[in-house]
Structure 1
């Protein structure tokens, strides 16, 4: 498995993965269903966003973004999703560990992510990939401007997978 930069040609594949409006809301907070490929390509217009795909044998099986914040010297992992027929196989952890490794390699020790509180499956995945809840007071402050009370997680940037990127090469 390899973690590669996203290309616009992959947008239709990724946009097709959510099976319901509820899944779209949990994935990216949008209300549109189905998600249009142009929506996914539009996310790439922000210079601070780097999207990646997890590829297995030439097939795209995962998608996720790194949102760089130079002012805060931190990175947020976002819009993480895996192909429906590959879920439950640990690919989400592989994808998240690979993204974490990219963030650390770019020189960022503070790596965060926000998760919809109703997305229990994603929370298990991210915790299994080395993320832990931030201090409750910090989460409360960050949620003041948010549409829902997200669960905020911080990556373990000291984990071997984060330092070496080896997490993207094994399930």
Structure 2
């Protein structure tokens, strides 16, 4: 399977919300919350779609990382069930981390449902570490959130200096 990624726009919010409400049935964000974040310059939201169907959003992910802040937060990520298991979630997270680095972040946080071992395993495989638990964070299901952190190393490459 192949997909293309692009930055989300306000025109994508309805398609994002179709996924949001079907995947996060009991704790979906409101349309107003999603629209606010998609339009916020401190946020960076991506959508994924099949190359030949740009209107069919199969995944989205969002980052809150104001330019110059040392921390970023992956706000949300969702992949349609039919598109799971092919590396799309991994690609979305890696792209958000790269954007956080460009914006100056040195660490990225996220929360994952304690009852979602697949997502937890994905984040661990990408280098995120468990740093805490938020009891009953996901409501109304009363499911704990595992708080995870990824330290972003400073870029290793430096500009070549003028040589004599």
CA RMSD in angstroms comes to: 3.4
Residue matched to 2:12: 10
1:55–1:102: structure 2 CA closer, same or farther, 3 Å change rule?
farther
Whose strand fraction is larger, Structure 1's or Structure 2's? 2
Provide TM-score, normalisation by structure 2. Answer: 0.70
Residue matched to 2:85: 88
Structure 2: distance between partners of 1:163 and 1:9 = 38
Residue matched to 1:43: 37
Q: Which runs of 5+ in 1 are unaligned?
A: 165-171
- Where does 1:100-119 land on structure 2 (aligned, <5 Å)? 100-119=97-116
Q: Deviations over 1:18-67 (max 9, x none)?
A: 575x7334xxx44x7xx65x553243355532222234413533211111
Q: Which runs of 5+ in 2 are unaligned?
A: 158-164
Bigger relative contact order, structure 1 or 2, given CA contacts below 8 A and separation 6+?
1
Contact 1:112 1:154 in 2 (8 A): yes
Whose helix fraction is larger, Structure 1's or Structure 2's? 1
Structure 1: distance between partners of 2:126 and 2:113 = 17
Structure possessing the higher radius of gyration over alpha carbons = 2
